[in-house]
Structure 1
Amino acid sequence: MVRGDSVGGNGALIRRHESRRMGGWLHRILTAVELTRIAAGFGAVCDIWFVTVLSGIGWKNAGESLAIESLLVPMLGAFMVSVGLFGYGSVLNDLLDVRHDRAFSPDRPLAAGQVRITQAVIGLVGLFIIAVLGAMFLGQESVFITLVVAAALMFYNVAGRFIPAVGVVTVGLVYALHMLIPEIRFPLFLAVWLIMSHVMILAVLVHLLEDKRPRISIRSVSGIIAGWACWSALILAIRPLRGLPLWPADQSGVDLLWPCGAMLLMAGVGWWKIRTAGTGQRASERLKRYGGAWHAVYAAAWFAALQLWWASLAFLILGLVGLVAMTVVREVSGLGPGKLEYR
């Protein structure tokens, strides 16, 4: 009996130890996700995969004889670029803000001491290397654009974010340029313009909902609109100036109703989420989550407009999976209304 009790007690201790170890691993994973904001970079992954897939399969009916295996290496490289770049930007942001966060956001991983400064610096360098290595899978031009995007992220974190008009426009341009990393000659610049506009609108709304400083003034609004208009004109003029169409000549203009519908649906979902959130912080979190997942919806809409139905369905599924994953991470990390945490 004594021996049996001893064995039972040891078993309980082992199970408790295993549970604690599992909790420790989960805590580390969630800390890494929070530090790198990988969940927020989901939209960037959708964007770069959209360009990678469309560039690989070509236009209408071009993908019928394509082997899916031929897309695996470019998609892996594109994934490495997105995770590396946006993780790099997020860690850089936290490193630069560590003193501010200790006073105003003590729950951030660096401010709370969950991650040491030296570990964050190592992670920063590692993420940058991952992005460059991923770009090497895509070509020499891709490496150059990756370095330009990394420089833009550094500019944003060091200076741009402190001037709302500059910061909002810079974020939009980062996403737009990031889309072109797999293929600088990507023919569908309308999609690039749509993502840039989407990101800039979300950035303004999040800034207002979270009541960030400095506040967006009338002058800032004018600067944001002017920046958006100038860069929109440039992006939409590149192909016409080279004698190329913005939309494939063999495609009907009616097909553009797909991405237009996606825009209107996002506007409706965004309005509903803000209206029912209750607080600005919760509305901002919902907007970022659904706005990130909506990049996959935009990709699906463009594929539908080109009658590439299998790709459209795949990106819809990707968007749904991403939204569920971001929601689960949010709840498990204790960020949700229920404050669910791993026990």
Structure 2
Amino acid sequence: MRATAQTGHLPVSQSPAVHLPVLYTQVLEGLRVIENGCYLDGTFGRGGHARGVLEQLGPQGRLLVMDKDPEAIAVAERDFAPDARVSIFRGSFAQLLAWEQTAQGLDGVLLDLGVSSPQLDVAERGFSFGKDGPLDMRMDPDSGISAAQWINSAEENEIADTLWTYGEERQSRRIARAIVARRQKQAFARTAELAELIASVMPRGKDKIHPATRSFQAIRIHINRELADLEAGLDAAVQRLKPGGRLAVISFHSLEDRIVKQYMNRLAKAPPSNRRLPEQQAFVPTLQLVTGAVKANEDELAVNPRARSAVLRVAEKCGEAG
């Protein structure tokens, strides 16, 4: 979840309503922006991180921004398109190799994963059970099937497996059975309908999270192919990074962070040796770890509680910078 907090910082367009994204200072420090570098923000959102990068770029610097959400792209076009240093592409960061603007090589890539605060806060997008709206959940509403279409047609086992795999929901089988039984009488169309159904069959736990939290997360990840896109996007980012370029990734739940951590470690650290096996070719690292798990401090959390689950990891591509 890409969380944001209000700030007085002015954007490129001098619009007064600006969102300072999570771990803002830590991201800019991690990217180590150079004046004439080329940087890609693969998850533009409302442009908080992108503004920070652009402010540190000189006249010859380049900022490439991507997002698959048309509303985010509309904000980018409005606030950033007049700047000749900026190029904009609508699509998933998993597609960054297909964007010819990245072929020149990149000095930094930022991926701020999950759903953004504006997406959560607009009921019509269907991401939140806290605001009743159409059961959609697509980050790109022009692509793929909606959550309602999937919930109303998927096999019970597929629903259960999705809730368990992507939401780590222990009651996945029970919830899937209840969903299938309910849709036989009436198809799901609204977020509140699904949230109420899940709450009705879930045992009440001691924690304060809503009973539908894990299920909504799982369905959103499945509908948007988030983990598959993440794996493809990490590979693509490393391919396009120049030697000395930085990769910064913010994740918001353990499934994402595990993929990022394991990916960076695999390219940065030699695998454990086994004396019983023939000697392998010497390991040559592709990445060097810059930070471990960086989290928001208490000052940021006081302003922006949604940042509590954010984890930033930064790695640098090996080789001498040009």
User: Do the structures match in fold with TM over 0.5?
Assistant: no
Q: Which has the higher helix share?
A: 1
Q: Which has the higher strand share?
A: 2
With normalisation by structure 2, the TM-score equals: 0.32
